Structures are given as structure tokens and as C-alpha cells.
Structure 1
């Protein structure tokens, strides 16, 4: 058991280091803020290739916010004015969204030390410092009991041991509180390894998630497959990458740079089109 705990701690440290190192690139790509998102978005109409960089950037941001809007819609009645836990908050874009659009008081949890001050600074810039509290903490160690109306996990549950995390979430939620998850799930086993390797995750199947949630006392209310709307987001990010490479290298982008990132974006698109991967919104409610 000690060896397993040590391996889990080492892996969590690796993930925190990975995102710490990516911070400047995330800011350049998705900034300047204050609502900086680092997750997928929903796109219903992909613009033709060759759009100006500022237009692509604006479309990416709008798509990311559309995902949060759709997640709130899936909840049905999001707890406006309530206590919300944002798990794996990144640079705080989602926390600011819930605070601004739903008047929530948000505890924004991250395990990346450098992100705490960034979230705090963005909250001040948005006039939301009274509503958004950044917390440096492992998602499994968030303190409290029956203190949150909603727990939100946007592309963060794939980094967590599901059974243990759902048990902790059940403890943190108020009676009838909700868990709102937006994440990618594996549809075919062969899709898992390349996904995990590139994104540093531990992707799971929907059945694994739902089994663990049910065992923890959480009931499924909504499962919404939005894969077809996420496919277009990766077309937008490919356009964004092309603009970034042109700015850095001009027309002579090193082949290995273009090949790796483009391959993974295309792999995601293909997986969501052929069923190897599914991007879904889940809403779970604490029973009782």
C-alpha cells in the first residue's frame, strides 16, 4: 500500500509539473484573461481555413465558454448564488465564469503552486476576488463536509482515482448537491494509451465512472454526448497552432513540431467521430 501511495503521489507531482511548465504557453494561446480557459469547447459551425488569428482566438474562447454554458444547462437549475467547488481549476477561467454568470462563491482548487497567484490576480482584475477563493490542494484532500451545492470538474476527473474521488465528493456535497463533469471518455480500449500518453491522464470508460459514482452514493441525472460539437473545436485549435508556428518559424516550421501536435489533434477528432472516444457532460446528484 505504501508503494502504491508513493507511485500515486509521484504521478500527481508529475502532472502538476507538466501544467506548471505549460503555464506560459497556455497564457499565450488562451490569454490574456481574465477568463482564461484550458479545455475543449463546443463548435456548431467551423469557419473556413485561413481565418485571421484574432478571429480564431475569439472563436476558441467563445467555444470554451459555450461548453460551460451547456454544462450549466445540463444541470437544469444551477445553484445560483451557491457554494461551488471547481476541481482542477487551471488558470481560473471556469471559476470566474461560475462567479460572474451564476453569482456563485467558488473555491478554485489547483495542485499547481504557480497557478494560485494567477487565479487570484485574474479574480481581482475581474472584480471577483470576493467570490473566488483559490486553494492549493489535492482534489482528494479538499477540507469540509456537506459544504458545497455543486462540484464542477471540467477535464480534471480524468486525472483522479474515480472511486476515491467520488467518495470524497459525496462527503463535500450538501444533500441533493450536484456533480457536473465535462470530460473525454474512452469508447474502445486501444484509444486509451495514446490519449493518456499525450495528455498525461488516466482516461476511463463511462461505465467505470458511473459504477464508481453509484457506489459512492451519487445518482446519474444527465449523460449528454457532445462529441460531434467538440470535433469542430479541434479544427479551430489546428488553425490556432498554424498561426503560432507561422509567428515562430515563418514558412519553415520544423516538421517534427508540426507533426506531433497536429497528429494528436487529428487523433482526437477521429476518435470522437468513430466512437473510440466520447466527450460527454455528466450530471450526478447526491442521494438523500
Structure 2
């Protein structure tokens, strides 16, 4: 993906994440895992709290998939966003984390959130550049949550290997297509670059990374979009004047946005056209 497109994608993603899940300091800009839906009619604050909890549940599940997470180790988080994942690994696993960002303004925001969380000595932000395709084998783990698909796959996997110490882990959570037709044509940068798990694993093997864990958590990701769609209704209702015509307009806006960004993904995860996977790969010693 061209640099400008990648930057625009991450700017929009972070702005949406901050508006919906802020104010911070741990703001996540990715899907979550939901095992039980709240009762109908749950107010917006309750939905936001459930969504934040589901995002952290995803990170906890990724840590579990990694086995013995390198507590206290050196971690590179390439998930982008506003450093929510980086703070998670620093606070929950005592890691020293380099948070790679794609937007210059996000460097300062990540530093501010790290300072607010008392993790300024463990989390540092770094702006992604082409030089980062040549690593120095200095990290115990490299973590990518919904960011690998937006990067040139073969080059990025070779770079990931070069950043890992011998025996180090690459852990990622991402959506992949099972049937290409499950991904409708789109100018959305993330959607347009989804690939297959098999294609990703072939490229990983060619880069010198061996698969250790492949967990399909699609069924647990579906509920995230159910909660998000409910929250959209609250958000549009809060902005609409209290009359019947405006109410209908707000609900129609929700339907349009859901069809564009939510329902295709939810349906694909339900019918097997898409897979949300946790993958853990190891650099050969």
C-alpha cells in the first residue's frame, strides 16, 4: 500500500477509535472477542465498556497463544493506532515496547498516553519508515494486530524476521479471506488488501518463520460487530433531533454504515467466507 494511503488509513482508524473508545490511555483500534452479548437496550456507555473489554480479551488470547509470553522482554508492536496494545504489553507483561506508528502526530499521542499510564520508561513511539525493513535482531516478540494485511506481505515478513532474535516470536491477529468473493470491492485500504491464511503462511515460511499456533476465533469475533452496530444506533440517535422524521433518517444512516463497514464482515465470519485468525510464528534459532 502506498505510504500516503497507509497514513490516511491509520489517521482515520485512530480518530474513530479515540472518539469511540477514548479518552485513554489504553485506546485500541481493532476488533475484539465477545463470548456473551449484553441484554437488549444496554445504554451506550455499557456498550463501549463491553467493546473495550472485548478488545483486551483479544490481546489476552493472543498472549495465551504465544505460550510463555516474554515477560520483561523487548517487544515491537506494529499494530499502529494510539499505542493501546503497546501499553497492554507493558502493563500486563512488564515488556519494554517499541510502538511503531504510521502518522507523525501519533508519536506524541502515544508518548502522552504512556506518560499518563506511568509507562513512559517502558513504551516508546517510533515512526515507521522504509529503513525498518532492515532489522537488527533485537526483539523477543513482534506483535501485529490487524496491521499485517495493509503492508507488502513478503517484504514485511522478511523484515519481521530480521527484527526478531533467534527463536523470537511473531504474533498476529488479523482477518483473512477463505473465499475471495466474501470481500466486496472497496477502496478501504484494509479491506482491499486482505489475503488468505494459506498465502500468508507460505510467505512466512519463505521468510524463515515457522508456524506454531493457528487459532480460528471467527465465532468469537462476530459479537464485536453486533455490539458495534448497536452502538452506532445510539451514536446516530444522540445526534438526531427528537422527531419521527429525524429518527427514521438516523436509523437509515445506521443501516447504510452497517452495510458498508460491518454487515459484510459479520456475515463473512458467520458463513465461513472470512476467518479471523491468531497466528504465532517463530524465527528459526
Q: Deviations over 1:248-277 (max 9, x none)?
A: 124254566323321131111110011110
Output aligned runs, 1:117-156, within 5 Å. Answer: 117-138=108-129, 141=132, 144-156=135-147
Output aligned runs, 1:62-77, within 5 Å. Answer: 62-77=53-68
- Counterpart position of 1:286: 283
Output aligned runs, 1:135-284, within 5 Å. Answer: 135-138=126-129, 141=132, 144-194=135-185, 197=188, 199=190, 201-250=192-241, 251-254=247-250, 257-263=253-259, 264-284=261-281
- Deviates most, 94-103 or 82-91: 82-91
> How far apart are the structure 1 equivalents of 2:159 and 2:167?
15
- Counterpart position of 2:37: 46
Aligned pair in 2 of structure 1 residues 227, 42: CA closer, same or farther (>3 Å)? same
* Secondary structure class of the residue paired with 1:175: strand
Q: Pick from 61, 64, 69: which aligns with 2:52?
A: 61
* Secondary structure class of the residue paired with 1:41: coil
Q: Is the CA contact (8 Å cut-off) linking 1:146 and 1:174 kept in structure 2? A: yes
CA drift at 1:139 = 7.1
* Runs of 4+ displaced beyond 6 Å: none
- Gaps of at least 5 residues in structure 1 are 1-7
- Gaps of at least 5 residues in structure 2 are 242-246
Provide the TM-score with structure 1 as the length reference: 0.92
Provide the TM-score with structure 2 as the length reference: 0.92
- Counterpart position of 1:89: 80
* Secondary structure class of the residue paired with 2:215: strand
Number of residues paired by the alignment?
279
Aligned pair in 2 of structure 1 residues 26, 209: CA closer, same or farther (>3 Å)? same
